[in-house]
Amino acid sequence: MTIRFKDVNPGQLEQLQGKVMGDVAGSLGLLMAYIGDKLDLYSALLEISPATSQELAETTGMDERYLREWLSANAAAGYVNFDGAMGKFSISPEQAVIFAAEGHPACMQGFFQAVMSVYIDEPKLTEVFRSGKGLPWSDHSPCLFCGTERFFRPMYAMNLLDAWIPSLTGVKEKLEAGARVADIGCGHGSSTIIMAQAFPNSTFHGFDFHEPSVEHARERARAAGVASNTIFEVVKAKAYPGKNYDLVTVFDALHDMGDPVGAAQHIASTLAKDGSLMLVEPFAGDSLEENLHPLGQIYYSFSTMVCVPASKSQEVGLGLGAQAGQKKLTEVLNAGGFSQVRRAAETATNLVLEAKV
């Protein structure tokens, strides 16, 4: 089929052009923000705000001409403000939260870093479309691992202790008294460490098959003062050791696995009687139509470039995708031997399911 230009509706074309121009501006804004993050420019501007590009150059020791252009791009994006009369740039408290407040749930720099990682990996990602092969998690730019940690950790810090764990049946009480917990696909260990800090009577096993992530998690645990009640191990989800876990958690990792049903089966076999699985997955409706919005676009895009290739690189290669939705996740858990699955909690970005054998 060829494009029939006579059928093009000028109004609809203009509307779509406007939308796409906004997307192009956003993609470049993200790159400006990423550079600003790497060079600590937002924090520097915050310190001396309002400031000229010359003043920013003096405090940072960087090139004034580059800074002037970068500040202008940021002002055009609305990421910083510009006062024409004074010729000075400033950063508002809200802008500072988004671009410079490391660890704040609204800070977007970790997210930008994860997006940058897939730009960096684009040649490999284009190739898997042709080959049909997968791309292992370990073959991505390290930007992805750090970006994931930076973006997810504040969300876990905000929700895990106050909302998600209390939403599970009797789990908080068990953790307070002293329980055995396994965190599968723990990555850099953000969730494991937050739980270990809050529940010193319990022991937390973090399992992930990506060795550099596990080493990073161990260092993080030492720095957080929870080395004594955390144990991190390099192992696949279907083969982690131990039995009688009171709680098994999987944070944003089940859909990355090649064989999520096999992983669920193994989890079910390692749970104590009356033990719970807490499954945290990206928020999604059950049908594609329900997910056709900006958050769905973000998740499907990451899923295309990270999650489906990661799954296809492993045995079975199910390719569940990051927008599976509760119905499909429940089918996976049922097939893995969990007879009771319910939605325990949700946020705008996450589904939290509790499953019991």
Contacting residues toward ligand SAM, per CB under 6 A: 137, 148-149, 152, 185-187, 190-191, 208-210, 213, 236-237, 251-253, 256-257, 310, 314
Residue 288: CB atoms within 10 A of its CB come to 12
Check: CB of residue 113 under 8 Å from CB of residue 163: no
Nearer residue to ligand SAM within complex by CB, 136 or 200: 136
For the chain, the C-alpha Rg in angstroms (whole number) is: 23
Question: From the CB of 222, what's the least distance to ligand SAM, in Å?
Answer: 18
Question: From the CB of 129, what's the least distance to ligand SAM, in Å?
Answer: 21
Nearer residue to ligand SAM within complex by CB, 41 or 320: 320
Place of tokens 């192992």: 235
Nearer residue to ligand SAM within complex by CB, 187 or 321: 187
Nearer residue to ligand SAM within complex by CB, 79 or 209: 209
Question: From the CB of 153, what's the least distance to ligand SAM, in Å?
Answer: 7
Question: From the CB of 250, what's the least distance to ligand SAM, in Å?
Answer: 7
- Tell me the CA distances in angstroms from 15 to 10, 21, 291, 294, 298, one per residue in order: 9, 10, 21, 17, 21
Question: From the CB of 264, what's the least distance to ligand SAM, in Å?
Answer: 12
User: If 0-12 CB within 10 Å is exposed, 13-18 middle and 19+ buried, where does residue 16 land?
Assistant: exposed
**Residues 333, 265: Cα–Cα separation, whole Å:** 8
**Residues 62, 73: Cα–Cα separation, whole Å:** 17
Q: Which residue is nearest to ligand SAM (CB)?
A: 187
Nearer residue to ligand SAM within complex by CB, 70 or 112: 112
Is the previous residue joined to 93 through a cis bond, with omega within 30 degrees of 0? no
**Residues 41, 253: Cα–Cα separation, whole Å:** 33
Nearer residue to ligand SAM within complex by CB, 239 or 292: 239
Question: From the CB of 57, what's the least distance to ligand SAM, in Å?
Answer: 37
The DSSP output letter for 168 is: S
